[in-house]
Structure 1
């Protein structure tokens, strides 16, 4: 009887995982067939399938039709340096020098609707309250490779009846409108960095392989009187990107004198 064995599943997954990380199974190679692994380890075929599923969920392998289970080539991390500064070019403000050349890969969408619960809490609005949602998919202009999803959420009392709700906000975008036209000058920003697993739509948009988490940057935009005027939710592949930033000395960390 082909009965799965949870303990054997974990043992086989650990064995194959070690083989992948130590180079026994280099990227691009195919793992032994399910029947062969089952016979070699004296376990059920379903147990082997479940072990392979674990590795697939970790992003180590992918099941390719007519090839089998192929070891994935993990891309080299690209660092986005957070200099704790805001920059500006002819298009307006930007925050990541590495992302400055990116463009919208499809027409941005503008809609009214409820924000996700964590974003609603940041904005200080009820979970069901309508907010302005501006959603963008950004990527490299030459390869059209998707790099990040960026979704702005603006409270209704800030955005309703303003140019913020228009599809084309013109040069400088929403930040110039907030500062120049709506009197929230100068804006200040605060960021937090986290991660989560993607939704199916996010995984498709960013072309993520199974098991790849999102790197998530939440930016809070605040007016001089402390009003929070926007929450920006940026998501990108945690497999492709890492966040780097300089570490400077605080006055309390002066080098001791001899």
Structure 2
């Protein structure tokens, strides 16, 4: 075998899962059986299973064994670079329009993560308003995303922004009423591994990362008024967006294939 034995065993099991020899919901052989069939120790077999679990391919279920995880069909979040509004307020993705807060928002004051502090233009020791929400399907009660808004204390303290119910239109209407109109937004999309609390709330299997969409809200003078950090299962959601022609990309007849390039 080339490389550590447990990785070779994990590679063999991974290929068997990918080929459908172990379909979703199937139980893999027991640790003892894997050890015997491959001529390895039980500890090495456990390490192989642990690697597959860390990848999110399997999960260890009490009294059943190692089960091949069901991989949900991903739902696309279409970020059309527009902000929408309905009778309840603003939303940035039509897929999530029907989602509602499943719990009363948690309001607190505290230090933001370092990257958020930099976006807000403050120091890492500055207190900010933190608004945490759990959003999901109101019929099933299933959490779909965790959304946290961070607002500078100088803007939010002593205002309706710091109350549980911010009123019609939410924090964006309140910010514009405070003289920060028109608001503008910018988003970045990334990923990271979840904290134990995030994994538990979103029912993430071991090894499943978070899809992270970070949105900044700015006023007309460019001041960052809010940073919104939205997290959801990267196993269940993906981001899509339309691609349109720039004026420079209009069709021109003629020319050889060598004159053009695609990236």
Question: Do Structure 1 and Structure 2 share a fold, with TM-score over 0.5?
Answer: yes
Matched, 1:14 2:8: no
Which residue, out of 55, 63, 80, partners 1:58?
55
Q: Which whole-Å CA distance do the structure 1 matches of 2:89 and 2:236 have between them?
A: 26
Matched, 1:237 2:233: yes
Q: Give 1:92 deviation, angstroms.
A: 1.1
How many residue pairs get aligned? The number is 253
Q: Give 1:175 deviation, angstroms.
A: 0.3
Q: Compute the TM-score of the two structures, normalised by the length of structure 1.
A: 0.96
Q: Indicate the residue corresponding to 2:117 in structure 1.
A: 120
Q: Indicate the residue corresponding to 2:106 in structure 1.
A: 109
Runs of 5+ consecutive residues of structure 1 not aligned to the other structure: none
Which residue, out of 32, 45, 50, partners 1:48?
45
Matched, 1:35 2:43: no
Q: Give 1:161 deviation, angstroms.
A: 1.4
Q: Which whole-Å CA distance do the structure 2 matches of 1:115 and 1:212 have between them?
A: 24
Which residue, out of 150, 174, 183, partners 1:153?
150
Which residue, out of 20, 23, 33, partners 2:20?
23
Q: Indicate the residue corresponding to 2:131 in structure 1.
A: 134
1:181-231, Cα deviation, whole Å (9 max, x unpaired) = x11111000000000000001101111111000000000000001111000
Q: Give 1:107 deviation, angstroms.
A: 0.9
Q: Indicate the residue corresponding to 1:248 in structure 2.
A: 244
Matched, 1:210 2:206: yes
Q: Compute the TM-score of the two structures, normalised by the length of structure 2.
A: 0.95
Q: Give 1:257 deviation, angstroms.
A: 2.0
Check whether the contact 1:79–1:244 (CA below 8 A) recurs between aligned residues: yes
Q: What is the aligned-residue RMSD (CA, Å)?
A: 1.1
Say which SS state the counterpart of residue 218 (structure 1) adopts: strand
Which residue, out of 158, 182, 185, partners 1:186?
182
Q: Give 1:240 deviation, angstroms.
A: 0.3
Runs of 5+ consecutive residues of structure 2 not aligned to the other structure: 255-263
